[in-house]
Amino acid sequence: MAVYTHLGAEELASLIQEYDVGTLTSAKGIAEGVSNSNWLIETTGKDGTGARFILTMYERRIDLNELPFFLGLLDHLAAKGCPVPRTIHDRANRAYRMLGEKAVALIEFLPGVSVDHPEPAQARSVGAALAGIHLASADFPASRANGLSLPSWRELADDCGEAGLASINPELPDLVQGELAFLQANWPAALPHAVIHADLFPDNVLMLGDAVGGLIDFYFACNDIAAYDLAVTHAAWCFEADGSFRPAVAAALIEGYCAVRPLSRDERHALPVLARGAAMRFMMTRAYDWLHTPADALVTRKDPMDFARRLRFYAEKGDAAFPLPHD
Amino acid sequence: MAVYTHLGAEELASLIQEYDVGTLTSAKGIAEGVSNSNWLIETTGKDGTGARFILTMYERRIDLNELPFFLGLLDHLAAKGCPVPRTIHDRANRAYRMLGEKAVALIEFLPGVSVDHPEPAQARSVGAALAGIHLASADFPASRANGLSLPSWRELADDCGEAGLASINPELPDLVQGELAFLQANWPAALPHAVIHADLFPDNVLMLGDAVGGLIDFYFACNDIAAYDLAVTHAAWCFEADGSFRPAVAAALIEGYCAVRPLSRDERHALPVLARGAAMRFMMTRAYDWLHTPADALVTRKDPMDFARRLRFYAEKGDAAFPLPHD
C-alpha cells in the first residue's frame, strides 16, 4: 500500500492533456496496489461536468509485453457489459503511455467499496459477476498462460526449502509435499477454460450495497480452468477471519455463479480439488513472500497459515465445502 | 504518507450515516498526512448527485483538546469566503466524532493540485490567500499558542545536542548557536498578530491553474505574528530544489499578500529577521526528526541542511531577499 513515485502537478497535468478527458483538477495518491502506484484523478471532463479516473503507474513485476493483454481485456469485458473499468485511450489511441521508463494507464473510475465481511447476498452478486467475465471472455482474442499454476507451486516450495517452510510452521513441509503429490495426481485435465481473474479477493471487488460496482485489479488474469477461478473466489470469500467456514456465503457464491454460467457435472465434482489447488497457490506465494520479505518492510506480510488451514479444510470436507444450489 | 488504520467498508458506511451527506459510494485511502490517516470519500450526496469529502483520522501528535480550534478555524475562515475546506458536522452538530479511541472528522473536498515548481502568478495568488486568512481570523474567538516559536527552537537544539547537530553537518552547531543568539536579540516584539497557518508549503496549497483552490492542513495553525507567516511561506516557496533563490516568485508572493493586507513599515523591516526565524524553525524540527527517525523508517526524513542554506541566505541578503512591490 503505497505510492512509490512522486508525480508533480505539472507532470500530471501534461500527461492528462494527452487524453480527451478535459483538464486536471485534482490528483490524490491512493494507498492501493502493491506493485503499482495509483492516483485518483479528477478532470473537468469532456463536457465540463467533471470526471474521475484511476491513473496506474506500473512499478515492477509487470512485463510491458503483457499490458496489452490486461488493458485489452478490460475493454473487451466492459464492452460486453461486465462491471470492469474501461481503459481510457490517449489521443493516439494508445492504451498505455510511457512516463520516463515507466508505463502508465488511465483507467475508468468505478464506484463501490471493498467489504471486510461479505454477506451472502454480496457473494451471490460476485459469483454472478465472475461467471459473467468467464462467458464474456470466450471470444477475447489474446491469451496469457497462468504463471501461478501447479508446476509453479512446486517451484515455490523448492525455493522456500524444507527448512524455510518449517520455520513458518513445523507441519508445513509435510502438508506441502503431501498436497503437491495429491494435486499432481488429481488435477483435472479436461475442464472448460476461460480468461480467469485468478485473484478475486474482497479487496478486488467494489460493492454498492449488495450489487457489484466493479471487479478490479486483473493483473493476475490468465487463461485457465473457469471453475478454478470460482474455487479461488470460494477460498477468498467464504471464511471468517478466525478461519471458520461460512456455508451461507459459499452457497450464495456458487448459486450466483451457476445462475449465469451453470457448472457441468465434471466441474462440480472437481471443485474440492480445485479449491485445494487455490489454497495451495496462496499458501505458497505467501510462504515465499514471508521468507523473502524483511519483517520490517513497507509491505505487510500475509500469514501463509491462513491458507494452510483452508487447504486442510478443503481436504477434509470435500464436497461438503461446496453446498450446491438446488437443481 | 500512509494510511495507518484499516477501516472496513461496513465501518465507513456506518460512520457516514451519522452525517447528512447521503450514503457511502466510494472510499480510497489517500497517501497524504504524516500524523493522520485520510480517505477520499464519495457519497450519493444530499440530493443524489454525489459529493466528495476527506475523512481524517487523527492518529497521533494531536491533542484532542485542540481539535475544536483547528476545525472551528476552518469553519470560521470558510464562512468568510477563504478557500479552506469546511468541517462537515454530524447530525448532532459535532465537528468530530470518536471511532474507537481515535477522533475522526469529515472535511469538505476541495479541488486543485499541489505544484512542485510554483510560477510567480501562483505565488501571487497564494500570497493573497494567506493575507485573506490573516484578515478573516481577526475575530476568530479561540486561540492557540505557537508551540514552535523561538523558545522551542532552543529546546530542540538542546535535545539534538552539539554532537548530534555536528553529526548532520560540522558547521551546524555554530550556525544554530549564532542564529539563536541573533534571533533572541532581534525578534520583533510588537508586530500585529493573527491566526497564522505556519506551515504553508506548496503541498498544503491546492492550485487550479494560477488560482488557489484550497489551503489545507491547518494543524500547525496558531496565534503569532502575521508577517512571520508570510516569512514562512517565503522560505517554503521561493527557492529552487538546488537552493537558489527565485526573486520573481518572492516578489509575486509579497505583492499578492500586500494587495490584500498591506504590510506596515515595521512589518516590512522585520521580514529578514522573521525569515531567519522561519528557516530556523524548519531547520530545527528537521534536525530533530533526522536524529530521532531511523534511516529505514516509513517516513522520509527531510534534509535539515536545505533550511540551513536558506537561513544563511536570509542572513546574508537581508532586505534583498524581499523584493517589495512598488509603492
Shared domain check, A143 and A52? no
In a domain, B115, yes or no: no
Q: How far is Cα A77 from Cα A140, in angstroms, rounded to an integer?
A: 9
**Among the ranges given (A35-39, B31-35, B101-105, B122-126), the one the predictor scored with the smallest mean pLDDT:** B31-35
Band of residue B216 on the pLDDT scale cut at 50, 70, 90: very high
Tell me the pLDDT tens digit for each residue of B49-86: 899 999 999 987 678 889 999 999 999 999 999 999 99
Average pLDDT for residues B203-211, to the nearest whole number? 95
Tell me the pLDDT tens digit for each residue of A205-262: 999 999 999 999 999 999 999 999 999 999 999 999 999 999 999 999 999 999 999 9
Q: How far is Cα A58 from Cα A72, in angstroms, rounded to an integer?
A: 16
Q: What is the pLDDT of residue B59?
A: 83
In a domain, A168, yes or no: yes
**Phi then psi for B193, rounded to 5 degrees?**
-100, 165
Shared domain check, A239 and A150? yes
Residue B325 confidence (pLDDT) above 70: no
CB of A32 within 8 Å of a chain B CB? The answer is yes
Q: Which three cell numbers stand for residue B106?
A: 469529515
**Mean pLDDT in chain B?**
93
Shared domain check, B231 and B128? yes
Query: Which of A9, A25, A207 is nearest residue B115 as measured by Cβ atoms?
Result: A9
Query: Of the candidates B108, B139, B158, which is a domain's last residue?
Result: B108
ipTM over 0.85: no
Shared domain check, B138 and B51? no
Q: What is the pLDDT of residue A2?
A: 58
Paired sense of beta strands A222-225 and B51-58, if any: unpaired
Which of B7, B23, B28 has the most A C-beta neighbours within 10 Å, making it the best mutation to test the interface with A? B28
Q: How far is Cα A40 from Cα A17, in angstroms, rounded to an integer?
A: 16
The residue among A271, A254, A275, A278 whose CA lies nearest residue A327 is A254
List the CATH number of the domain containing A71.
3.30.200.20
Residue B1 confidence (pLDDT) above 50: no
Q: What is the pLDDT of residue A1?
A: 42
Q: How many domains does chain A have?
A: 2
Q: How far is Cα A86 from Cα A297, in angstroms, rounded to an integer?
A: 33
Query: Of the candidates B88, B108, B128, which is a domain's last residue?
Result: B108
Band of residue A298 on the pLDDT scale cut at 50, 70, 90: low
Query: What burial class does residue A16 get, using C-beta atoms within 10 Å of its C-beta: 0-12 exposed, 13-18 middle, 19+ buried?
Result: buried
Contact flag B28-A28 (C-beta cutoff 8 Å): yes
Residue A296 confidence (pLDDT) above 80: no
The residue among B209, B238, B3 whose CA lies nearest residue B113 is B209
Shared domain check, A185 and A87? no
In a domain, B128, yes or no: yes
Q: How far is Cα B293 from Cα B297, in angstroms, rounded to an integer?
A: 7
Shared domain check, A64 and A128? no
Q: Which residues of A touch B30 (CB under 8 A)?
A: 28-31, 40
Shared domain check, A160 and A273? yes
The residue among A112, A299, A307, A147 whose CA lies nearest residue A223 is A147
- Residue A24 distance to chain B (closest CA, Å): 8
Shared domain check, A84 and A223? no
Tell me the pLDDT tens digit for each residue of B154-195: 999 999 999 999 999 999 999 999 999 999 999 998 999 999
Q: How far is Cα B70 from Cα A174, in angstroms, rounded to an integer?
A: 58
In a domain, A164, yes or no: yes
In a domain, A326, yes or no: no
Residue contacts between A and B (CB atoms, under 8 Å): 87
Shared domain check, A98 and A31? yes
In a domain, B3, yes or no: no
Structural domain boundaries, residue B103:
9-108
Average pLDDT for residues B313-325, to the nearest whole number? 89
Average pLDDT for residues B95-110, to the nearest whole number? 94
Contact flag A10-B114 (C-beta cutoff 8 Å): no
Q: What is the pLDDT of residue B326?
A: 53
In a domain, B326, yes or no: no
Q: What is the pLDDT of residue A9?
A: 87
Shared domain check, B272 and B201? yes
**Mean pLDDT in chain A?**
93
Query: Of the candidates B108, B133, B163, which is a domain's last residue?
Result: B108
Average pLDDT for residues B301-316, to the nearest whole number? 94
Shared domain check, A150 and A99? no
List the CATH number of the domain containing A276.
3.90.1200.10
Q: What is the pLDDT of residue B299?
A: 62
Tell me the pLDDT tens digit for each residue of A186-207: 999 899 999 999 999 999 999 9
In a domain, A114, yes or no: no
Q: Which residue of A has its CA nearest to B214?
A: A26
Shared domain check, A48 and A129? no
Q: Which residues of A touch B9 (CB under 8 A)?
A: 113-116, 207
Q: Which residue of B has its CA nearest to A114?
A: B9
CB of A126 within 8 Å of a chain B CB? The answer is no
